[in-house]
Amino acid sequence: MAAICIQVRAQLESLVDGELDPEVGARLRSHLADCPGCRAHHAEASSLPTRLIALSSPEPPPALVDDVLRRVRGETIGPLRLWGPMAVELLLAFVALWYVSGLDGLSLLVQRTATDAGALIGWGVGQSDPPPVAAGDVFLVLVCGLLMLTTIYHLALLARQAPRLS
């Protein structure tokens, strides 16, 4: 291989990217017109950027703009916002736990729920009698309703503030 070919091939990438002086570029192109070997290298070098340009851009995630803006603004979850609603949740949970007589009462409640649900499903498929309707407890329903609202609000806050997947 001639020395001029070595020099030309070393500058082919810059030629394809348009980074050379016009004079140097013209000199390289005149060499390419006469040298089939360097022309083949030039075709190979120029085909990759062309292919990359032809590729479609990947679709950005839906929340990309919001996430970038949030990070640029430096928004993070403060301890008060992170754990504040949890204090209310735990307070409500302790009240409910106290009301149902502690962990044993809670365990009984869950067991009864499972039994009733099983009986209801069995009644649906004609295998058992329907379970008796349990007497509602207004205070417990009220506390659990508040607990549910608080936890949903807390989860919405955490899901919105926490960094999303890229």
Question: Shortest approach of other proteins to residue 2 CB, angstroms?
Answer: 45
Question: Shortest approach of other proteins to residue 55 CB, angstroms?
Answer: 21
Stretch of 23-31, 40-48, 49-57, 84-92 lying at the interface with other proteins (CB under 8 A):
84-92
Question: Toward other proteins, which CB reaches closer, 33 or 153?
Answer: 153
Among 55, 103, 125, 159, binds other proteins (CB under 8 A): 159
User: What's the chain look like in SS3?
Assistant: CCHHHHHHHHCHHHHHHCCCCHHHHHHHHHHHHHCHHHHHHHHHHHHHHHHHHHCCCCCCCCCHHHHHHHHHCCCCCCHHHHHHHHHHHHHHHHHHHHHCCHHHHHHHHHHHHHHHHHHHHHHHCCCCCCCCCCCCCHHHHHHHHHHHHHHHHHHHHHHHHCCCCC
Identify residues 22-81 at the interface with other proteins (CB under 8 A).
61-63, 66, 77
Among 40, 121, 128, 139, binds other proteins (CB under 8 A): 121
Query: Which residues of this protein are in contact with other proteins, per CB under 8 A?
Result: 61-63, 66, 77, 82-83, 85-86, 89-90, 92-93, 96, 106, 109-110, 112-114, 116-117, 120-121, 124, 131, 133-134, 136-137, 140-141, 144-145, 147-148, 151-152, 154-156, 158-166
